[in-house]
Amino acid sequence: MKQVPASRRFAVIMAGGIGSRFWPWSRRALPKQLLALAGDTTMLEDTALRLRGIVPPENLLIVTSESIRKPVAKAVPWLPASSILCEPVGRNTAPCVGWAAIEVRARQSDGVMAVLPADHLVSPLAAFKKDLRAAYALADAERCLVTFGVRPTEPATGYGYIRAGEPDPRRNRAAAVIGFEEKPTPERAKRFLRAGGYYWNSGMFVWRADTVLDAFAEYLPGMARLLERMDGQRKHGKIPEKTLARTYPRLGKISIDYGIMEKAANRAMIPASFEWNDIGSWDAAGALWPSDNLGNSSRGDVIAINARNNVVAAPGKTVALVGVEGLAIVDTGDAMLVCRREDSQNVRAVLEELERRKRKDLL
Amino acid sequence: MKQVPASRRFAVIMAGGIGSRFWPWSRRALPKQLLALAGDTTMLEDTALRLRGIVPPENLLIVTSESIRKPVAKAVPWLPASSILCEPVGRNTAPCVGWAAIEVRARQSDGVMAVLPADHLVSPLAAFKKDLRAAYALADAERCLVTFGVRPTEPATGYGYIRAGEPDPRRNRAAAVIGFEEKPTPERAKRFLRAGGYYWNSGMFVWRADTVLDAFAEYLPGMARLLERMDGQRKHGKIPEKTLARTYPRLGKISIDYGIMEKAANRAMIPASFEWNDIGSWDAAGALWPSDNLGNSSRGDVIAINARNNVVAAPGKTVALVGVEGLAIVDTGDAMLVCRREDSQNVRAVLEELERRKRKDLL
């Protein structure tokens, strides 16, 4: 299958999320994608650097929220300001993808764009790049909406699933998409794994800008009209902030999965040959860190005495654990979280309490 | 029984301990008696202030370690420097009491002195003062060694016990001491409680200086000789530091209980009518603090979500607990402890590890 030339390859990193599950490290002004959860660099920068050699830097766009424009720009200092698209208000993923698509089209009418969340972990790099090149080629050749499916390693209930046919070597290993399944119950997830042919929906997509805008016109016509109107008001190639501020809030709060992918006919799925981790909690983050022989994994200095399987994130401080097991312990200067690892997705409840107490300083 | 006039009443606060069980709050330079574990003032200052109205300030002595002279002086700024006796090296309680006794005798030949640990909690104040006055009178009238016994509320294994006879109203409720028992096994402690007549050894004593020095001469004659030699070398009423530095290290490492109290004949015990708490661990300290309706007690701001019976000491920081139970969580700027409440006496193991790692900054 014919490769897409680099000049026509674009990538859009979705970096608007608030990542409340990583409190107290994450705050409204410092969401998950701006944290260095896996290594020394931010998730966002990792995501951007992963594209080197595939997408020219000038073809890379980041969509984020106006409220975090500065820290985002700081995380990717080599990116021109014009490449950072700031949503005046958050509106789920469909508006974000739609806006990015008209921006890509404005730069390159036959551009092919990858859509990538800013806060996922992918490795090894070579496998990711190979799959991404295959997806660009497929999306360009077949004018289809390409998604990456991840072979499930456990009956996870935190992801949507894609049911797909057999991978076809003549179509760059792509498989026909049979259907999208929302986050399942544990029983249903187990059935998916037993049945086979089900993949985790990674939330990473590749398509031509014109292909996805056609899909918007068909499945989200109201949103498509508003996007085209925004596009028509460009001044010096740029959509004025006033236009954005007026129009963007009118775009529906709808996800690209629900709005387009679950309905479109021209879908294809490439089974990822890379490993994928969306690092959904402190529990998952801890699993990536160095650990001692009793399973205590940490970022920072830990003294563990008769303590097992804890996750500790407290840079710049010595943490002594005595006799405790299965805890996530996260410290910042002004706040600390101590929870059971299996409860680490429930951090949201802490944020709700902080809201009630009007503790804006900690949100 | 005749009251001892205030001018003859002395008190010696033993403030030389290193209180390693309160790490990371306590450090070598900031031991337990210098922490505000129960309220807003340090344990040492609380102990000193408790004596107001009974012992004139000029009759109050504090024995501590040379290494913490400054913070001790800061904790009781109203005390003249000459009232703070600094041991050049720590030597258990017998040398400390012996030195204090010769200091009291030098000030007042028929002085009666109370010996009080700097880091215990006592309440209510009125009951303590009543018992203390009774003890001064008894010690003066009978020339005996008076100890306070605390009626046990549980078969604790962390204290020594005193076996005593019936309290005698004609002797200010004093009881004859039958014997001293070392920290018992759980079974033995239960037997003590069933049998009755056993009291916790509070480590608080009252005696005339001459009485206790007679006991030193009888039961610790070597130490008594060295103490008298120190006493004989006073210049301007003060034992020179050179003398102390030379002689003090030669005093035996022996406790007043083992060296004198277990052997002396002229002993008496007053059953405490006050409540007594030696606050031996974070678990015990937490029990003194304000707590929410799920038993989470704290110094500082806590958000507890499905969390019970935790102790949190993290001033200046918000601590969120999610789904955890029975933990002690203690934070300082440079270190943090997370342990099970019932393990909170095992903090010593952390200090040993810090020693091994040569982390003097955290010791």
Q: How many CA atoms lie within 13 A of A205 on its CB side?
A: 25
CB contact under 8 A, B339 and A346: no
Q: Which amino acid is at B224?
A: A
The first and second tokens of residue A213, run together, are: 């805008």
A83: domain CATH number? 3.90.550.10
Instruction: Tell me, yes or no, whether A266 and A287 share the same domain.
Output: no
| Angle at alpha carbon of residue A291, lines to A285 and A296, rounded to 5° | 85
Residues 6+ apart with CB under 8 A from B126: none
pLDDT reading at A344 higher than 90 = no
Cα-Cα-Cα-Cα dihedral of A188, A193, A198, A203, to 10°? Answer: 80
* Distance of alpha carbon B309 from alpha carbon B322, whole angstroms: 12
Q: Mutating which of B324, B334, B363 best tests the A interface, going by the most A Cβ atoms within 10 A?
A: B324
Minimal CA separation from A308 to chain B, in Å: 12
Instruction: Tell me, yes or no, whether A216 and A333 share the same domain.
Output: no
Interchain CB contacts (distance < 8 Å): A and B: 122
Instruction: Tell me, yes or no, whether A170 and A57 share the same domain.
Output: yes
CB contact under 8 A, A322 and B314: no
Minimal CA separation from A320 to chain B, in Å: 5
Out of A317, A337, A340, name the one closest to residue B334 (CB): A317
Q: Mutating which of A298, A302, A322 best tests the B interface, going by the most B Cβ atoms within 10 A?
A: A322
Domains of chain A: total? 2
Count of other CB atoms within 10 angstroms of residue A170: 7
* Distance of alpha carbon A87 from alpha carbon A29, whole angstroms: 15
Minimal CA separation from B26 to chain A, in Å: 14
Q: Mutating which of A292, A312, A338, A346 best tests the B interface, going by the most B Cβ atoms within 10 A?
A: A338
Residues of A in Cβ contact (< 8 Å) with B334: 316-318
The runs of H, that is alpha helices, within chain A are 43-49, 69-75, 93-107, 125-142, 186-195, 209-219, 221-232, 241-247, 256, 282-286, 348-356
CB contact under 8 A, A336 and B314: yes
pLDDT digits (tens, 9 = 90+) for A89-138: 999 999 999 999 999 999 999 999 999 999 999 999 999 999 999 999 99
Residues of chain B whose C-beta is under 8 A from some C-beta in A? 23-24, 303, 305-306, 314, 316-324, 327, 329, 331, 333-340, 343-344, 346-347, 349-350, 353-354, 357, 359, 362
Instruction: Tell me, yes or no, whether B145 and B108 share the same domain.
Output: yes
pLDDT of residue A325: 97
* Distance of alpha carbon B259 from alpha carbon B90, whole angstroms: 16
Residues of B in Cβ contact (< 8 Å) with A303: 350, 353-354, 357
The answer to whether the CB of B38 falls within 8 A of the CB of B285 is yes
* Distance of alpha carbon B261 from alpha carbon B188, whole angstroms: 21
pLDDT digits (tens, 9 = 90+) for A181-192: 999 999 999 999
Q: Which residue has the higher pLDDT, A17 or A81?
A: A81
Residues of B in Cβ contact (< 8 Å) with A344: 322
pLDDT of residue B1: 87
Residues of A in Cβ contact (< 8 Å) with B333: 317
Instruction: Tell me, yes or no, whether B26 and B170 share the same domain.
Output: yes
Domain range spanning residue A142? 6-277
**Phi and psi (nearest 5°) for A144?**
-115, 170
pLDDT of residue B17: 84
Q: How many CA atoms lie within 13 A of A34 on its CB side?
A: 26
Tell me: cis bond preceding A31? Omega within 30 of 0 counts.
no
Q: Which residue of B has its CA nearest to A354?
A: B303
CB contact under 8 A, B335 and A353: no
Minimal CA separation from A196 to chain B, in Å: 35
The first and second tokens of residue B61, run together, are: 């002595």
With respect to residue A194, please indicate whether it lies within any of the assigned structural domains. Answer: yes
Instruction: Tell me, yes or no, whether B262 and B308 share the same domain.
Output: no
CB contact under 8 A, A324 and B340: yes
With respect to residue B1, please indicate whether it lies within any of the assigned structural domains. Answer: no
The first and second tokens of residue B30, run together, are: 């900031």
CB contact under 8 A, B335 and A321: no
pLDDT reading at A197 higher than 90 = yes
DSSP letters for B100-146: HHHHHHHH-TT-EEEEEETT-EEE-HHHHHHHHHHHHHHHHHH--EE
pLDDT reading at A229 higher than 90 = yes
With respect to residue A1, please indicate whether it lies within any of the assigned structural domains. Answer: no
The answer to whether the CB of A211 falls within 8 A of the CB of A268 is no
Minimal CA separation from A71 to chain B, in Å: 25
Residue whose C-alpha is closest to residue B110's, from B14, B224, B2, B211: B211
Instruction: Tell me, yes or no, whether B119 and B238 share the same domain.
Output: yes
Give the pLDDT band of residue A177 (cuts 50, 70, 90).
Answer: very high
pLDDT reading at A20 higher than 90 = no
DSSP letters for B268-302: EEEEPSSEEE---SHHHHHTTS-B-TTS-EEEEEE
Tell me: cis bond preceding B71? Omega within 30 of 0 counts.
no
Q: Kindly list the distances between the CA atom of residue A176 and the CA atoms of A168, A241, A353, B109, B228, in Å, as whole numbers in the listed order.
A: 9, 40, 45, 102, 99
Instruction: Tell me, yes or no, whether B206 and B298 share the same domain.
Output: no
Instruction: Tell me, yes or no, whether A49 and A161 share the same domain.
Output: yes
Mean pLDDT throughout A243-263?
Answer: 96
ipTM: 0.87
Residues of A in Cβ contact (< 8 Å) with B316: 334
Count of other CB atoms within 10 angstroms of residue A10: 29
With respect to residue A213, please indicate whether it lies within any of the assigned structural domains. Answer: yes
Put residue A281 in one of left, alpha, beta given phi > 0 → left and psi -120 to 50 → alpha.
beta
Residues 6+ apart with CB under 8 A from B232: none
pLDDT digits (tens, 9 = 90+) for A263-290: 999 999 999 999 999 998 999 999 999 9
Q: Which of B277, B293, B309 is the last residue of a domain?
A: B277
Q: At which residue do the structure tokens 């290594």 appear? A: A39
CB contact under 8 A, B350 and A320: yes
Q: Which amino acid is at A60?
A: L
Q: Which of A223, A246, A277 is the last residue of a domain?
A: A277
Instruction: Tell me, yes or no, whether B170 and B138 share the same domain.
Output: yes
CB contact under 8 A, B305 and A340: no
The first and second tokens of residue B119, run together, are: 């880091």
Instruction: Tell me, yes or no, whether B229 and B340 share the same domain.
Output: no
pLDDT of residue B344: 85
DSSP letters for A200-212: EEEEEEEEEHHHH
pLDDT of residue A326: 97
With respect to residue A180, please indicate whether it lies within any of the assigned structural domains. Answer: yes
Instruction: Tell me, yes or no, whether A160 and A189 share the same domain.
Output: yes
The first and second tokens of residue B185, run together, are: 């096994």
Q: Average pLDDT of each block of 10 consecutive residues along chain B (363 residues)?
A: 96 89 93 92 96 96 95 94 95 96 98 97 96 98 98 94 96 95 96 97 97 98 98 95 96 96 96 94 93 94 96 95 97 95 89 94 93
Residues of B in Cβ contact (< 8 Å) with A333: 317
| Lowest-pLDDT choice from A1-15, A219-233, A343-357, B125-139 | A343-357
With respect to residue B149, please indicate whether it lies within any of the assigned structural domains. Answer: yes
With respect to residue B86, please indicate whether it lies within any of the assigned structural domains. Answer: yes
Minimal CA separation from B335 to chain A, in Å: 5
* Distance of alpha carbon A114 from alpha carbon A101, whole angstroms: 10
Residues of B in Cβ contact (< 8 Å) with A324: 327, 338-340
Q: Mutating which of A308, A309, A324 best tests the B interface, going by the most B Cβ atoms within 10 A?
A: A324
Q: Which of B219, B244, B277 is the last residue of a domain?
A: B277
pLDDT reading at A19 higher than 90 = no
Q: At which residue do the structure tokens 């903090």 appear? A: B347
The answer to whether the CB of B185 falls within 8 A of the CB of B157 is yes
Residues of A in Cβ contact (< 8 Å) with B346: 305, 322-323
